[in-house]
Amino acid sequence: MSENLFANGDTPNPDSGDEVKKDLKGLLGSIRKFLSDLLEIRSNTDAIATKESIIADIPFKGHTSWILVCSIFIASIGLNANSTAVVIGAMLISPLMGPILGMGLSLAINDIDTLRRSLKNFAVMVVLSVITAFLFFYLFPLRDESSELLARTKPDIRDVLIAFFGGLALVIARAKKGTIASVIFGVAIATALMPPLCTVGFGLAIGKPWYAAGAMYLFTINTIFIGLATFLVIKFLRFPMVRYANSQRRRFIARVASITGILVMVPAGFTFYQVFQESLFKKQAQEFLKETIEVYQFNASGRYVDNLTKLQYDSDGNSLIELVCMGDELIPENVINTWRVQKNEYSRLKDAEFRILQGGKDDSQEKFNYVSELYEKNKAELLTKDEQIRLLEEEVASLTKNAGKQIPFGNISAEAKANYQNIAALGFSYQLQTDFKKLDTVPVFEVKWKEGIRQNQKDADAKKMLAWLKLRLQDTTLIIKEVE
């Protein structure tokens, strides 16, 4: 058959394979050139001008100090008033980035003098900002714990990523010939260095140092990852290293800069890992809640208060998942045990303590105190004042409803003893009952009769007592049980 093909002129072309290879190489070369033109930034970088502009922004004195003080006041007012727009405006005029970029630059180019100046001005920046915010919140009469303030008390994985990529965008914009001002303003807003410092002053002013510690932790994360991004970009752009005439001094400074850079990167990596692990824990916890408590159907007055859910991650294995349910209807213990088994199916939730707080067996005043304590303890989790008010109104309405169900047991027991001589003891409790169609909470009186009383006498007294209690308490659902 091959002879027939060759006879018809369909002979193989030895050059066709080479042409395909050439076309493929040409296509790959075109793609490589396109990507190179698209992503290459070294050719359009002005290293000298970038270095000079970053160094010029490092000092905090004169006009820059007053701009910082004014911007801190504006940000504090915005946080106090829960106004996002005012906080954004304050961040646009804030000069906080200068020393942080200076630290990243100096470590990258081995400039120990610039590093020293950057650290000094960074300390001045932090102290001046915190003192300004502290004085504002300490002297200002309105010191509400707004959602804008509370949002800056605990970082998560998103804050780390925002700081890192914001720092990358900022340094790349500063390095371009003809700096892109809009990028600089955008990074100032996104990385949010100022609000955490204001929150530090707020926490110190109201006597809650854990607010200040959480906010300072967030500010430290932002600082470290912006500085790390600056260091990496400057290294990638191959800025010229600072040279020293004394070779021994040059080696010493290079060694100091390298050690400092490593010391900065190690906590940065550790922080990223810790925050990432916490993020994974909370993600699995949210998935677990969606499959359990959020789909559970309460039949009576029970309600899951999702705003008071506590998800607490601890790297030492003492993590906590705490749920809050209000109302008289209690979740059965067998259901809770099933949820515990489901929890252990999640790899990051196995060692976490699972706790459900329910408010069904205490009296009205204790319930009210319980709600108040939960509110005070967890108000940082509530997003807005309106949400806080809505939650409290619902709980007060629920408590008002439950107050009508309270049994004046002391008076009832005294009257029962006076009217029924055969009673030896009397007890009372609420009991969950179901006909497998609905679940009810029923008031139950438990009667212990004196020894030697005939059964027909017990039945007659019990029937008479039931009628009296229903009339006395205006509740037709209550029942009487005989106990031995």
Q: What is the pLDDT of residue 147?
A: 58
Computed over every residue of the chain, the mean pLDDT equals 77
398 and 411 in contact (C-beta within 8 Å)?
A: no
Q: What is the pLDDT of residue 362?
A: 43
Q: What is the pLDDT of residue 6?
A: 46
Which segment, 45-59, 255-269, 342-356, is predicted with the most confidence on average? 342-356
Has residue 353 got a pLDDT over 60?
Answer: yes
Least confident of 78-92, 203-217, 358-372: 358-372
CATH architecture of 47-242: Up-down Bundle (1.20)
pTM for this one? 0.54
Mean pLDDT of 318-324: 87
Q: What is the pLDDT of residue 361?
A: 44
What's the CA dihedral at 396, 399, 400, 401 to 10 degrees?
130
Three-state secondary structure of the chain: CHHHHHHCCCCCCCCHHHHHHHHHHHHHHHHHHHHHHHHCCCCCECHHHHHHHHHHCCCCCCHHHHHHHHHHHHHHHHHHCCCHHHHHHHHHHCCCHHHHHHHHHHHHHCCHHHHHHHHHHHHHHHHHHHHHHHHHHHHCCCCCCCHHHHCCCCCCHHHHHHHHHHHHHHHHHHHECCCCHHHHHHHHHHHCCHHHHHHHHHHHHCCCHHHHHHHHHHHHHHHHHHHHHHHHHHHHCCCCCCCCCCHHHHHHHHHHHHHHHHHHHHHHHHHHHHHHHHHHHHHHHHHHHHHCHHHCCCCCCCEECHHHCEEECCCCCCCEEEEEEECCCCCCHHHHHHHHHHHCCCCCCCCCEEEEEECCCCCHHHHHHHHHHHHHHHHHHCCCHHHHHHHHHHHHHHHHHHHCCCCCHHHHHHHHHHHCCCEEEEEEEEEEEECCCCEEEEEEEEEEECCCCCHHHHHHHHHHHHHHHHHHHCCCCCEEEECC
pLDDT 10s digits, 165-187: 888 888 888 887 765 555 555 56
Q: Is 74 left (phi over 0), alpha (psi -120 to 50) or beta?
A: alpha
More confident residue, 6 or 357: 357
CA distances, 93 to each of 42, 74, 89, 144 (Å)? 30, 10, 7, 25
pLDDT 10s digits, 268-279: 677 778 878 888
Has residue 403 got a pLDDT over 50?
Answer: no
pLDDT 10s digits, 467-476: 888 888 888 8
Q: Does domain 409-482 have CATH number 3.30.1760?
A: no
Has residue 74 got a pLDDT over 50?
Answer: yes
Task: Please state the domain extents for the chain.
Answer: 47-242, 281-403, 409-482
Q: What is the pLDDT of residue 131?
A: 92
